[in-house]
Structure 1
Amino acid sequence: MAPLDPRLVRRSRGVRRLLGASVALGLATAGLVIAVAYVVAQVVAHRFDGEPVAALVAAIAAGLGVRAFVTWCHTTVSARAAATVKAELREEVVDDLLDPRRLGPRPSSSRVVALLGPGLDAFDGYIGRFLPQIVLTGLVPPLVLLAVASADLLSAIVLAVTLPLVIVFLVLVGMVTKDRIDRRWQALERLGAHFADVLDGLTVLKVFGRRQEQGLREVGERHRRETVRALGLAFLSSFVLELFSTLSVALVAVSVGLRVVEGDLELEPALFVLLLAPEAFAPIKRLGAMFHDSTAGAEATAELLNLLDHDRHTGTGPAPDLRTAEIVLDGIVVRRDGRAVPGLDLAHTRIRPGEFIAVTGPSGCGKSTLLSLLMAFERPTTGYVLVDDVDLSSIDPVAWREQIAWVPQVPGLVPGTIEDNVRLGDVAASREDVAAALRDAGAADLPLDRVVDESGDDVSAGERRRIAVARAVLRVRRGSARLVLLDEPTAGLDASREAAVLATLRSLGVTVVVVAHRPETIAAADRELRLASRMVLA
């Protein structure tokens, strides 16, 4: 895991500004360290000679004050940059998830919550402290080494030999730590996913008397153990790093001290070297101490950038009119990462205008993937989706979806009334239009003014689906939708309501593609598209 992902630099203006400011402030810090050490060495040497040093002491005080001010500026700039970068990434992730040109499956809600919550909270240590310290580590030791070389070449050689050893040890610590941090992050993700699953099914779990305290306790304990192990490794590595740097400075001090006693080195350059030698190692030690605090932020950064790093639609062409356009799926194969078997394998099929097609097949054969392709949420790995001989990838996805009414397996709801949720299909629809759509969807018993929650806990699964079907019917009746895609719309409905929904779908006069398991839905269709390990058209 690289200390700084280049993708973060390209995406974030806040990081670029921080790195620029860190370079300027790092150069100022290195200059002040060298200047203060030089003046302190002069003060001690002049006092041994009995010369006045009042002006030099004032210069030391001024130098220390300026250095403290530069350090405060660096800390302030870094803290503000961390807050800015977090805000930028949060906004970018939200915009990306809502981007109509986004391709590929959406991440799970638990993963997004873990990244935008604890993940971005770790940016305070990563962006605010670790990245600026990387810049200081890259600037201060080389400049200090040059200053030492100007005063005593032998001491500079000793530092030049020992500094890389400390850096190599720091790299080795990072390689060992990565495994621990990966385990800790995975434990945190498991904890978040487990907690989200418990919350989603809390009502059912309570009804059946299933208690989840033990499961949450075990997952939390696993996260605690991984955190304690990472902390133990951090303390141990900091001790070893401190030991190596101390021994290296001791080598310089012994060499300088012996040569001063023998008269081979003047007092002033000797003091200058002794004061600068620890400063050459100080940035590296601070970097090592901050490394463990930053690894969670670096891991979250990689996860966020991976989430944002995906293909997007580039099509800008107009969408053909789906009242007359024929859709052809030719040689479609959709492959998933980590799966040997394709998620969808379809040799050839046509969807003609006005057809009612039931898509069937065993679980995992690609029925929902087929709807995702038709919605332009995904692009086939190989093959083409053609609309009147126009590749779907060249069509503007927004214009394409304006002609589609979509009912997913778990339809979404918004806080408000049932009328508000149905009117999402067409905000300009009248109350009478909404009532007619509900009636056609077998939901005439649902009051328009009934308030529903975004979670949908106050409606049954069947009521949720009927609301979504009414939303789709409203779009078709209002003339905006010409293709209806439904994923098991009659699941959870009784026979009479299922018959009402199917009758309405057949009467719409537009193309309907429905994922179906129930024989009644398959029988109502014009034809069946059965998906298997190799697709065959019934």
Structure 2
Amino acid sequence: MKPVDPRLLRYAGAARAFFGFGAVLGLAQTACIVAFAWLVSSSVVDALHGATPFGWRLVALVAVVLLRSVLVWMMEWNSARGATIAKSQLRQQVLRALPRLGPSWLSTRSSAAVTTTLTTGLDALDVYFARYLPQLILTALATPILVAVLFLFDFASGITVLLTLPLIPVFMILIGWATQTAQKEQWLKLGRLSSGFLDVVEGLSTLKVFGRADRQVTRIRSVTEEYRASTMKVLRLSFLSGFALELAASLSVALVAVSVGLRLVSGDLGLGVGLFVLLLAPEAFLPLRQVGAQFHAAADGVEATEEVFAMLAGAGAGVAVAEGARDADGTAGSPTGSRADGRLVVNDLTVMYADTAAVRRFSAEFAAGQLSVIVGPSGAGKSSIVAAMLGFVPFGGSIELVGSGDSSERKASMGLTARPLGRADVAWAGQVPGLMAATVGENVTLGSEHPSPALVTRALALAAADAPDPALAPSNRLGVNGAGLSGGQAQRVAVARAIYRALERGCRVLVLDEPSSALDRETEARLIAGLGQLVADGMVVVVVSHREAFRAAAAHVVRVGAPIAARTVTPAAAPGTPTGTRRIAVR
């Protein structure tokens, strides 16, 4: 483990202020330590020589003690403040990074593990800031200064301290190697415990149906026991580490004390200098000894920050690789009006997951004013194409908007324009509704700064969710994950949310992934009719679906994973959908 990860200073600006103010406090504390040792030793010598100790030295000694107490309190305040702000900054950056990482990244990780990292894991930074880093600051500042003062007053004691001081870091390194594996294992088991418990809670109804709920008690108990054993192993190593460091420090101070005692007896060293050295020697070892003792207490926080830094680095890399992955580029135009010349062009799209190609050299065009449907067998890459359109995965090739929404003046001066598709251009509903514990209206207007009740009503109507069903009323309050709605109802609310975004923000492209998989034929027909109205307004509507109703209503069908190079589609008439024969090139 690095003493201080430089990425902490980059991602959490509060850490820089913490170190700056902590350095000032550390220097002040060091001055108080030296002043205290000198005042005590000189007062004792004066008392032995018959001088009254109740002079200015005693007043100064009380002042130094009070000042050091205040400095210790300020160091604790600085630590608490730095930890609180740093945790907040890291959490905010991760929450901003998660949309850039996208669902494809989250699908490869346990949501419980990510949640544990951002909650319990980052909360462990309190110990890291409160105990570990202050001692690290004192080690970097106080220890060299105190050793220099010892050299100045007693060269022999300074040499002894300088030679024995490296024993503590050597023990820290040896014990750190032994405990690193145990600490990582403990953190992984905490993630397994969190994920396992969440899986059981989410799948409890299924487990009850198949009579396997009782077995999960044994499984959870087993995982909990593993975590307990791992934690106790880390604690045993921590106590062993503390014992070894204390022993090394005590023996080092004992060497200084024996040397000072022998020279005091022989008369080679004055009493005042000897007392001064004996008081300073333990203080020179204390910060480094405390760093070793708090090393294990800070391990959870450091492990959590490693996960956080990996998320932030992954988000940065994803944006750099995927040219189309933009949070909000371009200005979305109005969704209404004539835009028959606008189209979404996908050219040589390739999506790779590790060394596996989910999509290879896919090309297609999706024109405004017609319903486009992507079909193909499961695993052919349909969802990966959608993820690339949304900028959720790195991809090769290009995804561009051509001509859509440009003003007549711009078209006249620049011709038909093309630019990369940005997230501000797309409204989307995935296969999982992803509803919140809120009203139906609040779920539909998610992300809207100025929600419009009229627009909510229209979006629900276009999504075939306007039936006189109390469950779909905008004021109806849902439970966690949309509890209170059936699968089909939740699906339609998610589609209404995408439509609301498209209408409110003027998104030029609407992408729906299996929007009718849980719907009956009548409701599906109403949904297709609602999408037909958006198509008639000139929006690019792309639907991924296995349903025959969508294929029949589409003016443009793109088959993914088909061995043919082209096919001809003669679509059935659909509301707001132009009919005719179109040839589709698929590579």
TM-score of the superposed pair, with normalisation by structure 1: 0.87
Matches within 5 A, 1:196-215: 196-211=198-213, 212-215=216-219
Structure 2 residue aligned with 1:460: 486
Instruction: Say if 1:170 and 1:390 are closer, same or farther in 2 by CA, change over 3 A.
Output: farther
Matched, 1:537 2:586: yes
Structure 1 residue aligned with 2:361: 346
Deviation at 1:73, TM superposition (A): 1.7
Structure-1 separation of matches of 2:257 and 2:208: 70
SS at match of 1:293: coil
Contact map agreement 2:36 2:64 (CA 8 A) in 1 = yes
Instruction: Say if 1:521 and 1:432 are closer, same or farther in 2 by CA, change over 3 A.
Output: closer
Partner letter of residue 13 of structure 1?
Answer: G
Structure 2 residue aligned with 1:527: 557
Structure 2 residue aligned with 1:13: 13
Q: Give the counterpart of 1:512 among 537, 541, 547.
A: 541
Partner letter of residue 43 of structure 2?
Answer: V
Matches within 5 A, 1:15-414: 15-55=15-55, 56-97=57-98, 105=104, 107=106, 109-211=111-213, 212-309=216-313, 310-311=315-316, 312=319, 313=326, 316-319=329-332, 323=339, 324-336=341-353, 339-380=354-395, 382-388=396-402, 390-392=418-420, 395=422, 397-398=423-424, 400-401=425-426, 404=427, 406-414=428-436
Query: How far does the alpha carbon of each residue in 1:362-402 deviate from its partner, in whole angstroms, 9 at most, with x for none?
Result: 5444322211221233442x322222263426x5x33x23x
Structure-2 separation of matches of 1:430 and 1:523: 29
Matches within 5 A, 1:409-448: 409-418=431-440, 421-422=443-444, 427-429=452-454, 433=458, 436-438=461-463, 441=464, 444=467, 446-447=469-470, 448=472
Deviation at 1:349, TM superposition (A): 2.9
How many residues of Structure 1 are paired with residues of Structure 2 in the alignment?
525
Gaps of 5+ in 1: none
Deviation at 1:32, TM superposition (A): 1.2
SS at match of 2:481: coil
Query: How far does the alpha carbon of each residue in 1:78-99 deviate from its partner, in whole angstroms, 9 at most, with x for none?
Result: 223222333333344344446x
Instruction: Say if 1:391 and 1:220 are closer, same or farther in 2 by CA, change over 3 A.
Output: farther
Contact map agreement 1:329 1:348 (CA 8 A) in 2 = yes
Structure-2 separation of matches of 1:69 and 1:419: 54
Instruction: Say if 1:419 and 1:26 are closer, same or farther in 2 by CA, change over 3 A.
Output: closer
Contact map agreement 1:353 1:511 (CA 8 A) in 2 = yes
Q: Using the TM superposition, name which of 443-452 and 173-182 deviates more.
A: 443-452
Query: How far does the alpha carbon of each residue in 1:452-491 deviate from its partner, in whole angstroms, 9 at most, with x for none?
Result: 3342222221221123334455667889454221111222
Structure 1 residue aligned with 2:323: none
Structure-2 separation of matches of 1:121 and 1:90: 11
SS at match of 1:195: helix
Structure 2 residue aligned with 1:491: 517
Deviation at 1:325, TM superposition (A): 2.5
Instruction: Say if 1:355 and 1:155 are closer, same or farther in 2 by CA, change over 3 A.
Output: same
Contact map agreement 1:476 1:508 (CA 8 A) in 2 = no
Instruction: Say if 1:317 and 1:62 are closer, same or farther in 2 by CA, change over 3 A.
Output: same
Structure-2 separation of matches of 1:362 and 1:224: 46
SS at match of 2:399: strand
Partner letter of residue 399 of structure 2?
Answer: V
Instruction: Say if 1:153 and 1:354 are closer, same or farther in 2 by CA, change over 3 A.
Output: same
SS at match of 2:166: helix
Contact map agreement 2:460 2:493 (CA 8 A) in 1 = no
Contact map agreement 1:78 1:127 (CA 8 A) in 2 = yes
Instruction: Say if 1:519 and 1:246 are closer, same or farther in 2 by CA, change over 3 A.
Output: same
Contact map agreement 2:437 2:482 (CA 8 A) in 1 = no
Instruction: Say if 1:500 and 1:274 are closer, same or farther in 2 by CA, change over 3 A.
Output: same
SS at match of 2:357: coil
RMSD: 3.2
Structure-2 separation of matches of 1:162 and 1:347: 67
Query: How far does the alpha carbon of each residue in 1:107-150 deviate from its partner, in whole angstroms, 9 at most, with x for none?
Result: 45323421232112212101222111110111111111001001
Structure-1 separation of matches of 2:258 and 2:513: 78
Contact map agreement 1:326 1:350 (CA 8 A) in 2 = yes
Structure-1 separation of matches of 2:564 and 2:74: 64
Structure-2 separation of matches of 1:479 and 1:421: 16
Partner letter of residue 420 of structure 2?
Answer: L
SS at match of 1:302: helix
Deviation at 1:508, TM superposition (A): 4.2
SS at match of 2:2: coil
Deviation at 1:347, TM superposition (A): 4.2
Structure-2 separation of matches of 1:293 and 1:422: 45
Contact map agreement 1:252 1:274 (CA 8 A) in 2 = yes
Deviation at 1:22, TM superposition (A): 1.0
Percent identity, aligned pairs only?
37
Partner letter of residue 74 of structure 2?
Answer: C
Instruction: Say if 1:432 and 1:3 are closer, same or farther in 2 by CA, change over 3 A.
Output: closer
Partner letter of residue 170 of structure 1?
Answer: M
Q: Using the TM superposition, name which of 487-496 and 420-429 deviates more.
A: 420-429
Contact map agreement 1:443 1:463 (CA 8 A) in 2 = no
Structure-2 separation of matches of 1:51 and 1:299: 57
Instruction: Say if 1:316 and 1:472 are closer, same or farther in 2 by CA, change over 3 A.
Output: closer
SS at match of 2:345: strand
Instruction: Say if 1:145 and 1:348 are closer, same or farther in 2 by CA, change over 3 A.
Output: same
SS at match of 1:350: strand
Partner letter of residue 383 of structure 1?
Answer: G
Structure-1 separation of matches of 2:37 and 2:457: 84
Query: How far does the alpha carbon of each residue in 1:152-191 deviate from its partner, in whole angstroms, 9 at most, with x for none?
Result: 1122112112212212322333333332221111111122
SS at match of 1:411: coil
Deviation at 1:209, TM superposition (A): 3.7
Matched, 1:4 2:8: no
Contact map agreement 1:357 1:529 (CA 8 A) in 2 = no
Structure-1 separation of matches of 2:333 and 2:304: 42
Structure-2 separation of matches of 1:477 and 1:166: 66
Contact map agreement 1:320 1:387 (CA 8 A) in 2 = no
